[in-house]
Amino acid sequence: MADGTVILPAYLDEAGARGLARNLTPERDHEFGLMCALVFEPDGHAKAVQDFTPPFEAFRSAMPAGAKLHITDAFRPGNEAWKAVAETVREQYLRLIETARPMVIYAARRLRLSRELHQGSATLQAQAKAARRSSVQIARENRPSDARIEDELMLSLALRLDAFAEDIAAQVHDVKQVDLLFDEIDIAERYEATIQRTREVSKNVTTVKGWDSTQSKRVEGTIAFQVSAPFRVDTKFIGGIHVVGKAHPLVLAADMVTNHLAHHLGQLSGDAPLNGPSSIKGWVLENRVWGVMENASEDAF
């Protein structure tokens, strides 16, 4: 292949808990959110679409009116006929994944970590505000945090996809980028800003606006920071964000794999790591997973 022309298609889906970190309670500490990607070899991508299409069409044809094209919908009460088809199609998909050999890359996080990080950040902000001597009132500084569990997961997954692309670039291909493929436009748009953050870790400039009460005028300034490290900290291989819609056989593949993995992780004890080799031990697609590690930051609590 020509230098720098390889684009890895990654189909993304999410499962488990999501929502605002500020609303989390200790009672939910054992729950977790999951963001998962199914990454195909570019040379085998077209054939994978072709091979996954017949079972996909069987799944879609059995879908009752008003339902959504998701594996979880097939298991809702009243969808028993569709459920029977879904179970067969899921087994076919799992076998096809063993043949097509895409990589499964994921990030999972228990809500305890999200809750504690949010509380720690809120405490630091309150302390900084109490110690401030400036007469400037920062715009929207009292606005509640809008940090979400799924944004944290997307950040982790983007970093892992970037590391995977770098690994592939060093060993197999001259990778240009990983394209992120979503089923819905609102989901893709939500994660665009999060993904952009990963490209600007080493150098970030934020404009801050406020009101200076002593001068009775609006003011603004910038907050800038720079990170120096003996290794690359900005993502390099995260490419475009694309919406391919729900009616795509590999979107359904990502949906099925993500929910299957979520079910497996859900069988672990409430304090077990979710991102280590032990986390996926015995899972049907264990040999297709890339990037699990001991003491992952997402398991640090």
Give residue limits of the domains in the chain.
6-201+235-296
Under CATH, what is the fold of the domain 6-201+235-296? Nucleotidyltransferase; domain 5 (3.30.420)
Per-residue pLDDT of the chain (301 residues; tens, 9 = 90+): 444 578 999 999 999 998 888 998 999 999 999 999 999 998 899 999 999 999 999 999 999 998 999 999 999 999 999 999 999 999 999 999 999 999 999 999 999 988 988 788 767 766 666 666 666 666 566 667 778 889 899 989 999 999 999 988 777 668 889 999 998 877 777 788 888 878 876 666 666 676 677 767 776 766 555 554 444 567 889 998 899 999 999 999 999 999 999 999 999 999 999 999 999 999 999 999 999 999 898 888 6
Contact at 8 Å (CB) between 82 and 2?
A: no
Per-residue pLDDT reduced to its tens digit, 79-112: 999 999 999 999 999 999 999 999 999 999 999 9
Distance CA 194, CA 229 (A): 22
Choose among 18, 52, 58: nearest CA to 35: 18
Neighbours of 126 (CB within 10 A): 10
β-strands 6-16, 32-39: how paired? antiparallel
* 38 contacts: CB under 8 Å, gap ≥ 6: 10, 11, 97, 102, 103, 104, 250, 253, 254, 257
